[in-house]
Chain A
Amino acid sequence: MLNFGRHVNLFHPVTSEAILTTPAFLYIAHNMSENAIIVRDLVKRFGTVNAVDGLNFTMPKGRCWALLGGNGAGKTTSIAMMLGLVTPTSGQMVMLGHDMAHDRYAALAKMNFTSPYVDLPHSLTVWQNLDFYARLYAVPNRKAHLEQLLETFDLVKLRDRPAGKLSAGQKTRLGLAKALINNPQLLLLDEPTASLDPDTGDRLRSALEKYRNETQASILMASHNMQEVERMCDHVLMMKTGRIVDQGSPADLVARYGRANLEAVFLAIARGEDEGIREAQA
């Protein structure tokens, strides 16, 4: 994979003609149109701690990928940087063809996010919450779209209930409805079904799969639910101490590590039992 280099901004509008016609630029331009996410040499340092330490990956459009890793592996920080909530120490991110350093808002209009750890206003009702975000994203035919979302996420009967009085499962459904409010081409999800009962979790996964099938949207999710990842994701990035230590399809990883399932692979990597496998692979 071509490395852009962390000090060269090839996405700046004032790029010389010489650069625009080089094979490197044509390669990148092709990548920008074909890929949902391009992350290069991404570093986030908090004091002496490297929360993210040189992240590199390219996620094609229309795919569902997972970021896996133990607590403190850097998943949430990475997602927050991709959303523009956290400024990277160095590195480059291109989301849906937009360089996040210079063209963040164009990308954000086509993306969305949800996490059970980031609340929606508790005092506002379900309808008011969705209406607020629909206005913020300038959603056309707002009312009809909101009615449809209420229907999809089984929130019709809860439309006038304050978000603070919803159960955990209902809040998660509201969070996902909010995440789909602008029909995003790219969804970033941080543990989207955490603390949900199996039935609610399954319904939400089905809703996400349906959305992805209908729109060809791309999804990147951080999750601790290995069954969820095996079911939904076609590619897994395994993170440890801020770096990607391995990646592949769930089936590929399971086979390569000689384990029964993805959870066993996760444990092997988290406990450092994977060194031999990765060395052999190298």
Chain B
Amino acid sequence: MSTSARIGALVMRHIYLLQKSKARMVELAFWPTFEIVLWGFFSVYLAQMNGANSMAAKFILGAAVLWCALSRGGAAMMISFMEEMWSRNLGHIFVSPIRSWEFIAGIIVVSSLRTAVGVAIAVLASVLLFSDVLISQGPVLLMHFSMLLVMSWSFGLISMGMILRWGNSAEWLTWMILFGIMPVCCVYFPLSALPHWLQVIALGLPAAHVFEGMRHVLATGDTGWSYLGWALGLNIVWLSLTFAFAMNCLSHARKHASLVQQGE
């Protein structure tokens, strides 16, 4: 029995779920599009105030698109896991031969697909409505997008672990973390805007390097490999740590018999 078949089964289960639910399908694209339209119009307003070549307008639109990768990626990972909790299906899944890491990999694949679909629609909307700047820098920004998607996996693993360890009540805390890290990710302002002690924290997050890199790309047209390099290195560290945390929490759930008790 192959690993790919078991991960594929999990992906198929979520495709079935999306097929059945129009609300879930709409939700996939709604929030990223909403955010981009909102910030897009704000960037248009800034451009009107400061001139058509205003960097601030480009930065805000680029930041809005990339923030979607992180926020929607994290949310998609959490929702994909919560779907199993809400349906009280974890018991049946974990008595099958699926390995714990395969389950996590399946959730990552599902959440990445959800994010890709949602953000692709939102990016299309932003290009149609606001600017061709994202197209001209597309391939480079795609690398920034990928880095943030990987960081969203780390967030998803932390959320998954917290819910497995502390139950459904931890769900609210995980949403707070997802949006609470936004200031230290330096999404809409440069790292230098933060006080020194917060800069130290921000530099420990891949997202701060990605958003700094994005501003560098849009301002100079230069790829800024060093930003991407830092983001990649930090992603590897964060992913390793959060994977170990999630596996530890899964083991904790087995020890405390909470796998079959999880649910609404």
Residues of A at the B interface (CB closer than 8 Å) are: 44, 46, 77, 80, 83-87, 105-106, 108-109, 111-113, 115, 117-125, 128, 131-133, 135-138, 162, 178
Contact = CB atoms under 8 A, between A and B. Distances in A.
A105 B97 contact: yes
Nearest to A106: B97
Contacts of A83: 95
Interface string B41-70: 000000000000000000000000000000
Contact of A133 (B5, B91, B96): B96
Q: Kindly list the 10 A-B residue pairs having the minimum CB-CB distance in the complex, ordered from nearest.
A: A135-B9, A118-B91, A121-B87, A138-B1, A109-B97, A136-B9, A119-B88, A128-B16, A132-B13, A83-B95
A22 to B, nearest CB: 32
B169 interface: no
Given A86-B260, A121-B89, 17 more contacts: A46-B257, A80-B257, A108-B95, A108-B96, A109-B1, A119-B89, A119-B263, A121-B13, A123-B20, A125-B16, A131-B16, A132-B12, A135-B5, A135-B12, A136-B10, A136-B97, A178-B92
A83 B98 CA distance: 13
A85 B16 contact: no
A253 B214 CA distance: 76
B1 A137 contact: yes
A121 B91 CA distance: 11
Nearest to B89: A121
B21 interface: yes
A113 to B, nearest CB: 5
B17 interface: yes
Contact of B251 (A46, A80, A87, A118): A87
B103 to A, nearest CB: 10
A109 B1 CA distance: 9
Given A87-B251, A87-B254, A136 B6 contact: yes
Q: Interface size class for chain B?
A: 20 to 34
A178 B8 CA distance: 18
24 contacts: A46-B256, A77-B257, A83-B95, A84-B254, A85-B94, A85-B257, A87-B255, A108-B95, A112-B95, A118-B92, A121-B17, A121-B87, A121-B89, A122-B87, A123-B87, A128-B20, A131-B12, A131-B16, A132-B16, A135-B6, A135-B8, A136-B96, A137-B97, A178-B92
A131 B19 CA distance: 15
Interface string B1-37: 1100110111011001100110000000000000000
A137 B255 contact: no
Nearest to B6: A136
Contact of B254 (A85, A120, A131, A135): A85
B145 to A, nearest CB: 30
Contacts of B87: 119-123
Contacts of A113: 92, 95
A109 B5 CA distance: 13
Interface in B85-118: 87-89, 91-99
A102 B8 CA distance: 25
A274 B44 CA distance: 84
Given A85-B259, A86-B254, A135-B8, A120 B1 contact: no
Contact of A86 (B13, B99, B257): B257
A118 B259 CA distance: 11
Max chain A C-beta neighbours (<10 A), residue from B2, B93, B251: B93
Max chain A C-beta neighbours (<10 A), residue from B16, B20, B98, B263: B16
B13 A124 contact: yes
Contacts of A133: 9, 92, 96
Given A118-B88, A132-B12, A84 B94 contact: yes
A250 B95 CA distance: 29
